[in-house]
Structure 1
């Protein structure tokens, strides 16, 4: 880790020597009413727009205008197989093989589709284990699956809680839960990076532990994809899902991704919902043929691709490809470490970083707990030109994103925070 120093000169020197610094110019940076760039620290909620996105979408609009339905086969990037343009780069970012990776639907839809296949409860083994402070949508989804299968959505839900008085979950407690309830748990479904604390869980450790008790394992990687090295294939997880509009910069509500481990690629007997896009590509338009399941992650598709959304994803993935994900992760560690250093140097009892200090246990998000849940502090920070977000009950989340945030951004954020407090 760098030997961080106080002062603006250090931040500027880091930016001058940053081999990825020029990528900031490839993004639209929001401005205030006076035209001054805001300090944007919410890539963990909605990533900024790459400047090439408009051209990528415009190409598909042009093909639609000029070719109509023939754009499916004759467009510059034919729509029939457009999703294949995304697979290799997306697979690299999440640490998967192309056969394990698909872009489709939205995140919670994909989560439900995965649970159709990998949550197969029995009278004895039917419970679902999640982290206690999971993103609400995950909790709602798994509870609805419990109800759908005729189980009580409270009794059937096991929650992995942080120890009393602490914010971070620990693995010893998870081991105890599985030792106690392992033969009752059908599915362990954890958020890969916790949305509130920013804690990056050890996916391989969790998967190995849960599999030892006969549980299926899935991860919601909404806050991990494009942020940390998920290494999904090596983790051994049965499935994972993620969105593309946070660190993957594909625009509000854009399509999501799913991972299904290679060991399930050829299991056509796996229960699943199907549609014509999971049918053999060669026979897809022979409307009266019997269903012929595609292998791999493509076999979980339902409908033809949403091209305009996929064009935006392709634009962002091309920027990732140019930058190199390994290099981005290295910069993320340095940028977040610098942020942590400056916050700690404030030595202010009103603020406490609850995100793990270990770079291997976090991404670029730092969650700053505010004493007495003083939301007014966040409001003043926003008025000072910093776009962060508040998460109830008492946390300001800031994510210095390596593609478009600078060391000077981080310095100025902390200076404005210091002036407020």
Structure 2
């Protein structure tokens, strides 16, 4: 089963807490602090697995988490680092932030492994806070919390050439004729439900990849039918073969079909609509010269209008606009060799580089650490700003605010967790009071 889109939740590991302990050894009086540091939390990586070609596995498992770092121990023992998690995806998968839709990383080209979330740092044990005036510090630093993020995975297939066209115009038949692919083929009024890839062997070690994309219908750019599920696969193509039913077997006008599909490509985006197109007029073997007489002459002979073949009509419409038109038959093979030779020549002249989607969002820069929520608000009755929450309470329990280092750690904590910024957004001024679980501070910049 094919799946080209999934939404998952990823989470890095929390850093282990630093430890508070003191040496307790026989014959060693006044043992100093020996609390060890917490271990680092595990990171979250995405890695390319060339054996995968679908995102179906993510339909069954949607949460992925690295493990937490262990807390530090006595005798300066450092906690064990958390294990990283490596999430395997097919080549060509684009990872996006679910909230903004911005690209985090495109797992294509030379990108085979990418760290998305960094685990929390382990906290310092109390051994780090001993000074000449504070020889027995009774606090340690908490480990940094984990980060979590909801991401969207989109598989944008990597193919040189894409086949576009309405359902039943012969795209699957064409792919089976020119490549090693074996798609299901039948005269269905519906369409291929998943993309098929085929490699066209040109000999002498030369080849190119063709993707038979699900048949487009009017309104696809607005989400109708397969909609965006189809259109995203076009984005990496260097060239499009626009397949038309020249014989109008389904009763459709091939010229009208061409314009309808290009309207959908234009709606989807300029990048897609600007991809060069070659028109493939298929089913020439099924064209029937069926012209009704328009009059009778003096001798009783039927008078027929001038006959213009469907191929002549298609060429007259599109060749003046710069399109190349290739009449072919997937049933007899007529015209296919000439078309493939031309496609290969065009690909040689186009850019060799793969289409790569640039990163627009770095979670480690923009994403706040995930933890129990804290609250910052102004209490009018107390005429004070209040900061509270489990994270705050835990930090205060570990921190000796009477020491210089402890108070410096407290200030860094307030800044690093965005609390100072929130206070400033609420309008705090110098000299105002901030309360936290029984502590009161005067605010100064």
TM superposition score category, shorter chain reference: under 0.3
TM-score by length of 1: 0.21
- Structure number with higher strand proportion: 2
Give the TM-score taking structure 2 as reference length.
Answer: 0.20
Query: Whose RCO is larger (CA < 8 A, sep 6+)?
Result: 1
Of structures 1 and 2, the larger Rg is shown by 2
Structure with the larger helix share: 1
